[in-house]
Structure 1
């Protein structure tokens, strides 16, 4: 059962994908924000001598990084992949099978030697 059939049309039109370059940028941004807030939180917690201050600042950095990196913002969808068109499947020959073609190729390689 597909639950998207119950969504209104305006929600179905919201893009929910991110290209590979966008994923890379989002991961780097996430890591930079977490490290930056972690360092600032550690320093502030050390100055205040309260570990809870460190955790609050780190939690704020985590929330900010989630808001900035989890939704597929347009800045993460700038370089979509250009897929190749599908090749048509070759028509199968009913008279030949794979064993006869492999035996013929092995006979040809023996003749060359």
Structure 2
């Protein structure tokens, strides 16, 4: 079976979002200037679309640069402890309601 990573860590998500905003803003500004110079709004739109496509290719897939700091999750409790703690919590809330 092929093991393909399908996740990003939280810092990677932030990095990807910042990168996409920078790329789209730069392409939008360059497109606006170029479209104004040649008086063709369609060129502005084409350049902006190229920026969106580039940003999508660089930020949507979970590249390894976005998976550098994974979270260390807490180990789950054994089933017997979970059931015991749940029933003691219910008993304490019942006692509070009676008072």
Residue in structure 1 matched with residue 28 of structure 2 by the alignment: 38
For residues 1-37 of structure 1, the C-alpha deviation after alignment (integer angstroms, 9 at most, x for no partner) is xxxxxxxx2xx31111111111110011010100010
Quote the offset at 1:87 in angstroms: 2.1
**Counterpart of 1:77?**
67
The higher radius of gyration belongs to 1
Quick check: which one's helix share is greater? 2
TM-score (norm 1): 0.72
Match of 1:67 in 2: 57
Within the alignment, does 1:28 sit opposite 2:21 as a pair? no
Equivalence map 1:89-100=2 (5 Å): 89-90=80-81, 92=84, 98=91
For residues 32 and 92 of structure 2, the distance between their equivalents in structure 1, rounded to whole angstroms, comes to: 69
Q: Structure 2: give runs of 5+ residues left out of the alignment.
A: none
Structure 1: 5+ residue stretches without partners: 1-8, 107-113
What is the CA RMSD across the aligned residues, in angstroms? 2.4
Give the Å deviation of 1:99.
6.6
Moved beyond 3 Å, runs of 4+:
none
- Asked which structure has the greater RCO (Cα within 8 Å, sep 6+), the reply is 2
Q: Distance in 1 between matches of 2:95 and 2:11?
A: 43
> For 2:32 and 2:93, how far apart are their aligned partners in 1?
72
